[in-house]
Structure 1
Amino acid sequence: MATDKRTIQISLPCTGEEEWQACRGPLESGWLTQGPQVAAFEKGFAERHRVTHALATTSCTTALHLALAALGIGPGDEVIVPAFTWIATANAVLYCGATPVFADVRRDTYNIDVEDVKRRLTPRTKAIIPVHLFGLTADMDALRAVLPKGVRIVEDAACASGASYQGTPAGGLGDCAAFSFHPRKSITTGEGGMLTTNDPELAEIANMLRNHGASLSEEQRHLGPRPYLLPEFNLLGFNYRMTDLQGAVGLVQLGKLDGFLAERRRWADWYREELEKIGWIRPPKVPQGYEHAWQAYVTYVDPERAPYARNEIMDRLQQRGIATRPGTHAVHMLGYYRDRLGLKPEEFPGARDCDAHTMAIPLHNRMSAEDYAYVVQALKDIA
């Protein structure tokens, strides 16, 4: 048994001198709110993900809300969401006054179960939010095959910067998509998000909505030839604008994205080879034709073969200095949704089991080879 003890976080942002220096421009110019740095970040992000429009926001949650609002989702509408996801996916639906309808997830990919989606469709279904959970895209071809014409697809790509499906990057797989730049994601702006789309009309509406519904952006107004002009407000909008400080950091991080992903994929492959030897812990599945972004490395602890329950294993790893987390929530089991919608754990058994048995282990761009070896050895020692 290994005797040394390290402290290995579940995730750490990989930032440094370049990000620090990038903030100087906005600070020295005085342009701190949405401006040229945000515009450059949006342009670069759109190019990397092969979409025509990218709109920076304050978070992925606000990007999801913005997307649904721009699509006209409102009271009386139903939006299908996976039952195993971060709670913001469902919350964004309620923000619009619509009803979230949960669908179960697959235990092998953790993504939405298309067969269960078919059972949840009604004449009131106006949209679906497939989540590309932990960086693996949902099965978009299978999903499109069961959706009625007119049901809009909003990708929750919070974890999926740089991921792709059958050669197409996340962000261009549906009508629109929402990304996150939270510090646990592959690239970060602290807080922050991005809405992407290839639909010019949707982009135009979303652009107004994120700026209070204004017909002119702050940049257009301040740099325009007629300073006395104020924008028209014909929509009830929000203040969901990213700051230029965040845009400057995001632009630097975006330049590092492919390097970050290559490193994460290399170590994810190494983890898989090592974990397959253990037997009671299942590595994440990556189907043919998918490029996983590895925002998190989420395993599945086999309750029939594991030497201890998942939580006991997590406690033992914590004692060795190794941080772990459950994959995410079974949202239908959380108090607010359980009580509001009268849901029971057994209604979505895949989500229930993923809630109980998934375990994220450390994988990020500030880990060393010794750190990865220490994690695997600790898992082997548990048995």
Structure 2
Amino acid sequence: MQQRSIAISLPATGEDEWQAIREPLTTGWLTQGPKVAAFEQAFAARHGVAHALATTSCTTGLHLILAGLNIGPGDEVVVPAFTWVATANVVVYCGATPVFADVDRVTYNIDPVDVARRITPRTKAVIAVHLFGLCADMEALRAVVPSHIPIIEDAACAAGANYKGTSAGGLGTAAAFSFHPRKSITTGEGGMVTTNDPGLAEVANMLRNHGASISEEQRHNGPRPYLLPEFNLLGFNYRMTDLQGAVGLVQLEKLDRFIAERAQWASYYARELAALDWIRLPSEPAGGRHAWQAYVLYVDPHKAPLSRNSIMQGLLAAGVSTRPGTHAVHMLGYYARRFGLKPDDYPGARDCNNHTMAIPLHNRMTAEDYAYVVEVLREIARKPCVE
């Protein structure tokens, strides 16, 4: 086979998105304005929630949620030990303490049984990550989390996913989504907060705009242009631009098609890789919809012909980009040092850190690309068990 060069992910953008930014550039309204508002309304409608608030990133969206819930020093927030570092960082930003819970090695999501062990009188929230587009087991979580403790969805990877018929974003007290280029839909950088709580939505809306009592759009379009907003909250500048909102509107229209394509090729991988007993295929939901932000394999260290890292190096040499699924946050230097954590404290997260591998899955791949990835993996399996 002729060697290819296949990226782990590429954003599916083009002429539609290029044309979408013309209006904001022409009108001169570049910061948060009518395009952001339209994007928010469309996103809320698609995900079945009452309120959607665009932000600069999923990270700032999560920070807004915690700040809006008045989480601060002395409080604890339970987070999964296997996730992108931002999930824990936002807790520290608030002056609160992240309390890690282990994850399930099959779904990669937070383990409700371990969550139950981590709840204390200081617990003020639980963050459930829908990792790689698979919704966390929200029913099992709610069964072990006391009703007065909010469950927040880190839905960075989960635009368009659903859990037993309910869309991600409407499964907890609030959620935050990401529009980073590695996600199914993108605005470059950018995020979205969703909630059905009108009070939380109102506070988050002010906090993302420096704590202002009214938005810039309201002030500019209002009858008293001499008025400046009141500031009764210490807020942040977490506003999305109208350029991003215009792109987001176009991308959102393509979301379901993008997910359907990814699901088709995820099924292809599952069929073609089933015979390789040294990898475990991603878990699929029963009665839900996987968003397939990433296709993450688990490399069995006892059966694999080579170590996970050597397999990744072999794929790279053949032109196939890969990544570890994500990292075990408790093994990262800052968290290990600050909280005195060791790798074995969370064995599920440790193993997922060491043995997961994401292979290419995105909306700019061709059938030939997918076939090539499969063939390279099969060829690696035929190599002798030496490194």
2-structure distance, mates of 1:377, 1:106: 29
Question: Following the alignment from structure 1 to structure 2, what is the Cα–Cα distance between the partners of residues 33 and 229?
Answer: 19
Contact 1:66 1:210 (C-alpha < 8 Å) held by counterparts: yes
Give the equivalent residue in structure 2 for 1:140.
138
Aligned mates of 2:286, 2:61 — CA distance in 1: 29
Aligned to 1:177, what secondary structure does the other structure show? Answer: strand
Alignment equivalent of 1:166, drawn from 164, 167, 170: 164
Q: Which residue of 2 aligns with 1:278?
A: 276
Unaligned runs of 5+ in 2: 382-387
Pairing of 1:342-381 with structure 2 (within 5 A)? 342-381=340-379
> How many corresponding residue pairs?
381
Task: Please tell me the residue identity of whatever aligns with 2:331.
Answer: M
Instruction: Show the counterpart of 2:152.
Output: 154
Is residue 64 of structure 2 the alignment partner of residue 49 of structure 1?
no
For 1:275 and 1:125, the matched residues in 2 are separated by: 42
**Secondary structure of 1:360's match?**
strand
Q: CA deviation at 1:277?
A: 1.3
Distance in 2 of aligned mates of 1:129 and 1:274:
35
Partner residue, 2:228: 230
Select between 157-166 and 266-275 the one with higher mean Cα deviation: 266-275
CA distance in 1, matches of 2:4, 2:23: 38
Q: Distance in 1 between matches of 2:233 and 2:85?
A: 27
User: Structure 2 CA distance, aligned partners of 1:137 and 1:287?
Assistant: 8
Q: Are 2:68 and 1:70 equivalent residues in the alignment?
A: yes
Shift of 1:149: 2.4
Contact 1:275–1:282 (8 Å) recurs in 2: no
Q: Secondary structure at the match of 1:76?
A: coil
Q: Percent identity?
A: 75
Residue type of the partner of 1:234?
A: N
The one-character-per-residue Cα deviations of 1:299-337 (angstroms, maximum 9, x if unpaired) are 000111100000000000000000000000100000000
* Residue in structure 2 matched with residue 309 of structure 1 by the alignment: 307
**Runs of 4+ that moved beyond 4 A:** none
Distance 2:64 2:291 in 1: 24
Q: Find the aligned partners of 1:289 and 1:98 in 2 and give their Cα distance.
A: 36
| Superposition deviation, residue 287 in structure 1 | 3.0
SS in 2 for 1:291: coil
Name the amino acid aligned to 1:15: T
**Which residue is 1:253 aligned to?**
251
TM-score for the superposition, normalised by structure 1: 0.99
Q: Matched residues in 1 for 2:151 and 2:233: separation?
A: 23
3-state SS of the aligned residue for 2:124? strand
Paired residue type of 2:294: A
**Does 1:7 pair with 2:12?**
no
Aligned with 2:203: secondary structure?
helix
Give the 3-state SS of the residue equivalent to 2:128 in structure 1.
coil
Q: CA deviation at 1:48?
A: 0.4
Q: State the shift of 1:66 in Å.
A: 0.3
- 2:194 corresponding residue in structure 1: 196
Kept in 2: contact 1:182–1:192 (CA 8 A): yes
Q: Determine the C-alpha separation between the residues in 2 that align with 1:49 and 1:150.
A: 24
Q: Which amino acid aligns with 2:263?
A: R
> What SS does the aligned partner of 2:74 have?
coil
C-alpha contact 2:134 2:285 (8 A) present in aligned 1: no
Task: Write the distance in 2 (CA, Å) between the matches of 1:259 and 1:91.
Answer: 33
Deviations 1:42-101 (A, max 9, x none): 000000000000000000000000010001111110000000000000000011110000
User: By how many angstroms is 1:281 displaced?
Assistant: 1.0
Q: Which residue of 1 aligns with 2:177?
A: 179
RMSD of aligned alpha carbons: 0.5
Give the secondary structure class of the aligned counterpart of 1:130.
Answer: strand
Cα distance in 2 for partners of 1:341, 1:167 equals 39
Secondary structure of the residue that 2:193 maps to in structure 1?
strand
> Separation in 2 of the partners of 1:297 and 1:123?
38
After TM superposition, give the deviation of residue 227 of structure 1 in Å. Answer: 0.3
CA distance in 1: counterparts of 2:98 and 2:150, whole angstroms:
14
Q: Is the 8 A contact 1:160 1:179 kept in 2?
A: yes
Alignment-mate amino acid for residue 175 of structure 1: T
1:326-379 CA-partner distances (Å, limit 9, x unpaired): 000100000000000000000000000000000000000000000000000100
Counterpart Cα distance in 2 of 1:285 and 1:216: 45
Task: Determine the C-alpha separation between the residues in 2 that align with 1:72 and 1:231.
Answer: 22
Displacement of 1:278:
1.3
TM (norm. structure 2) is 0.98
Give 1:94's aligned residue: 92
Cα distance in 1, alignment partners of residues 285 and 147 from structure 2: 27
Q: Report the AA paired with residue 88 of structure 1.
A: A
Equivalent pair of 1:221/1:229 in contact (CA under 8 Å): yes
Tell me which of 155, 180, 205 is aligned to 1:207: 205
Q: Which AA in structure 2 matches 1:78?
A: E
Tell me which residue corresponds to 2:385: none
One-letter code aligned to 1:138: A
Take 1:63 and 1:35, find their aligned partners in 2: how far apart are those partners? 18
| Whole-angstrom CA distance in 1 between matches of 2:359 and 2:288 | 21
SS in 2 for 1:101: strand
